[in-house]
Copies of this chain bind each other. A is one copy, B any other.
């Protein structure tokens, strides 16, 4: 029976053009990763469920795709769960494996499992798909790539500096100007909570503050009030909303706000170190900015927090993010491994490059010349030439069938192949080729050397 073919919602097919453009971004990122001394690893698409479950919160657990055990999985099924009709309780007894939810937890697992083979500090990059059973919507997919670079095994601030340079280098190499790398520090956020006397509400406080962009100052305060943060505290944080100006000016403002907090002061020192280094080594195209409202995965980060914004003229969320986490591998039993990492949002970068028309035309170039097929004898002559051209690193094809000329020309046109070669009996006898430029219609009669030289340019 013929089925009407479709793919699961939230997943995508990529056409040749899309693959070419995606690979262009991957290659730019990978080239910089390598240039900065990061080494690639790859981990399996599915992990033991115990590796993933409980690492991303309850919501995360729900969004992890579980793989059904093979064979007679009901034999080991939890009978109570079946009787009670409890899907969640049943899951662990009929599913032992789950699809990767991000690259960070598998990386932590990798580091712990292979710690004796690894030379620390370990600079690794990883570019692989991840899967989330999220509700699909515009720009949110159930399968998407993550491109991560991390270092574990050192808490040197030079790494923060280097990751900023890495972001700058990648966006520079993609020709994307006007990117802002926003930085904050978890210790500054902790300092805020400390000086307003609301340490126990740190998460609520920062989650609300993180929304300043979206809901404005009054919205943030309203949310804080709802979370039980006192009016007195709200008054104390008022200067946070007034931080303006250059990086240095904001640092100055911060210093005064965080005077009473040792943790906060430590955060400021870290920010200053980074800012000084970047001033000594100016970025190529990106701009570094201090954003004290930036929180991201707060439970996770312990020092620097990064987020990258697309150029202002493009409406787009963040196109990258990351930060320092002090105990990532602890969940797998390896303590005191400081780590720091950043991620590139491939799908959003794609949309930004598309909107700004920044993909080089060469990216989607494919076959340079199509040989028209006039029949068996001519095809052999063509094939021999095609083979020689390929040997010269020129992408050449022959139309496989001696179809009508119009059909073959249409194929060249639709495939956007810039040249066709017409070689019939006369050309064969003279060891020549009639080369036609598709766009201009211009034709020339060439020998192989001429053909090669024309197609190489």
Q: Which residues of A contact B (CB under 8 A)?
A: 2-8, 11-16, 19-20, 23, 34-37, 39-48, 50-51, 62-63, 65-68, 70-75, 82, 85-88, 90-91, 94-97, 99, 109-110, 112-114, 117, 119, 121, 123-124, 129, 131, 133, 143, 151, 154, 156, 158-159, 161-162, 165, 169, 277, 280-281, 330-333, 366-367, 373, 379-380, 383-384, 387, 390, 393, 395-398, 400-401, 411, 414-415
Contacts and interface: CB of A to CB of B under 8 A. Distances in A.
B45 A169 contact: no
B159 A7 contact: no
B158 A400 contact: yes
Contacts of A68: 65-68, 91, 94-95
A97 B8 contact: yes
A13 B114 contact: yes
A15 B114 contact: yes
Q: Which of A36, A86, A330, A373 has the most B CB atoms < 10 Å from its CB?
A: A36
A131 B90 contact: no
B16 A41 contact: yes
Contacts of A332: 2-5
A281 B87 contact: no
B97 A73 contact: no
A256 to B, nearest CB: 26
Nearest to A36: B390
A6 B48 CA distance: 8
B87 A74 contact: yes
A90 B113 contact: no
Given A37-B366, A62-B71, 7 more contacts: A2-B332, A3-B332, A8-B97, A14-B43, A37-B396, A45-B129, A156-B401
A339 B396 CA distance: 20
A47 B143 CA distance: 11
A13 B113 contact: yes
A340 to B, nearest CB: 10
Contact of A383 (B45, B158, B333, B383): B158
Contacts of A383: 158, 161-162, 277, 281
Contact of A67 (B15, B65, B414): B65
Contacts of A39: 16, 19, 366
Contacts of A46: 8, 11, 65, 131, 143
Contacts of A2: 330-333
A34 B401 contact: no
B384 A5 contact: no
Nearest to A64: B70
